[in-house]
Amino acid sequence: MLVYNTLVRRKQTFKPLSDREVGVYTCGPTVYWFAHIGNMKSYVSEDVIKRTLMHSGYKVKHVMNITDVGHLVGDANIGEDKVKMEARKEHKSALDVSRFYTHAFIEDMERLNIIKPDVICKATDHIPEMLALVKKLDEKGYLYKVETGMYYDTSKFKDYGALAGMDFEKLNKYLKAGARVERAAGIRNTTDFAVWRFSNSEEKEMVWDSEWGRGFPGWHIECSAMSMKYLGNHFDIHMGGIDHIPVHHTNEIAQSEGATGEKFVNYWMHMAFLKVDGKKMAKSLGNVYTIKELVEKGFDPIAVRLLFISGHYRQELNFTIESLKGMTNTLSMLYSFIDRMNGVLKSGGGSKDKAFMEFVDKSRKGFFSAMEDDFSTPEALASMYSLVRESNKRAESGMGAEEARHVIDVMLEFDSILGLEFDKRLSRTDKLSEEVEKLIKERNEARKHKDFAEADRIRRVLKEKGVTLEDTAHGTVWKSSD
């Protein structure tokens, strides 16, 4: 399996620390508002990567954080905590706000058929671990104190900026020219960041005592403390959005490796941005969608998932309502195809073509070869769509039940990675099979006795029940009309 590692800027053969176990950490949401579709695209891409690892036989331990304190407006270590700011706007406690949006995020994960992480860890539940990490860094001389908090001196970490592909000087110039111009008084380097921020005397909520002063953790320290608690000082894969490369993930490396003296992560994987109508998402442009809003517009969230995985995780994807409508039609086509194959299987009999069976195997090989080459979903989907086209052609000329069974098995194997819920579709049609088979049998008897009026009546009855009949060279098959 080849994995693109941001740290070295190339694909590498994946070799986990443990023979058959993989430790994976993914940056979760800051729960001050609903996660938008750009956020959820990253989580879907990460889910596909995780599913591929699982299909390859690895036992995956997946840890994801919930940032419910410590993430300030912007990354410049100035301004307000996002959760506290939203709490004030909504006239609620910060705890109530974080609970509400955490629940909303979990609902979105379920809608998109994302496998729940093994560990979902909240920042506020891990303050002791963060303080212990801060203490280690302080003892090793990485920290200094200013009026607003305890800061990490990035000039003291030898390889600072390696993840961003820059040395210390270049990264400082890059960030100074960007959004991080304003800095708290006393900061030595543009890249220095807070590991513990002091609170003012008026703050009563989400603040903790420490030996440096009463306050709350910096955003970056949270992920280091929690990932190392559950996965160890050195683990396999860390994933997140590409926006995390120059700041958040760069700082995670500095503080984790600075504290432990060990390598932090072997493979850094980053998800590309999602644009909307060719533009960056922004509330001011009115182009920020949530999964809930798309569901309320009548879209199936699984169609949204299919749209997200239609592009490679490292390539920017453009979202439009029209493209989502197109994916809705594609998903409907795939479900109808599953129904059709199930109908052929239920009809029994038919021939078995060796060349077709070999084509099915070839399609399977193409799909998994694509997924094992840095999780190339576009190429994998192309193999699946090719299988669908050829299987439909074969069904027209007399597909046998054994062939249909093989196609279904392969499609279900594809879906163990794609997560498009083919299994639910199959289960849904299976529940109809007893009634359908009885009516099909009655219709076949009517046709045998040339009672075409009765045969047409039964066809209409079945259509009203959501079942469409298809007469083939090897008997009648059925599929769900919707």
| pLDDT at residue 150 is higher than 60 | yes
Tokens (6 digits) for 473: 């060279």
- Answer with the residue of higher pLDDT: 94 or 337: 337
| Residues 408/426, Cβ–Cβ less than 8 Å | yes
Return the pLDDT at 180.
45
Q: What is the pLDDT of residues 372-382, one digit of tens each?
A: 999 999 999 99
Does 320-480 match 18-139+221-308 at the fold level?
Answer: no
Report the percentage of the chain scoring pLDDT > 70. 92
Residue 201's φ and ψ, nearest 5 degrees, are -65, -20
Return the pLDDT at 482.
57
Report the percentage of the chain scoring pLDDT > 90. 67
- Answer with the residue of higher pLDDT: 199 or 374: 374
Q: What is the pTM of this model?
A: 0.88
- Find the Cα–Cα–Cα–Cα dihedral 417, 23, 308, 70, rounded to 10°: 150
Question: How many CB atoms neighbour CB 93 within 10 A?
Answer: 13
* Cα–Cα distance, 255 to 447 (Å, whole number): 77
The residue length of the chain stands at: 482
Matching CATH number, 18-139+221-308, of 3.20.20.140, 3.40.50.620, 3.30.1490.20, 2.60.120.260? 3.40.50.620
Is residue 93 helix, strand or coil? coil
Return the pLDDT at 365.
98
Q: What is the pLDDT of residues 31-53, one digit of tens each?
A: 988 899 999 999 999 999 999 99
Q: Taking Cα atoms as reference points, which of 376, 370, 63 lies closest to residue 235?
A: 63
Tokens (6 digits) for 256: 């984790």
| Residues 70/140, Cβ–Cβ less than 8 Å | no
Where is mean pLDDT largest: 214-218, 371-375, 425-429, 463-467?
A: 371-375
Q: What is the pLDDT of residues 409-440, one digit of tens each?
A: 999 999 999 999 999 888 765 555 677 777 87
Chain centroid, CA 475 distance in Å: 42
| Residues 334/351, Cβ–Cβ less than 8 Å | no
Return the pLDDT at 320.
95
What does each C-alpha distance from 204 to 68, 80, 93, 218, 457 come to in angstroms? 15, 14, 11, 17, 73
Return the pLDDT at 181.
46
Average pLDDT score over the chain: 90
| pLDDT at residue 289 is higher than 90 | yes
Would you state the CATH architecture of domain 320-480? Up-down Bundle (1.20)
Domain ranges of the chain: 18-139+221-308, 320-480
- Answer with the residue of higher pLDDT: 350 or 325: 325
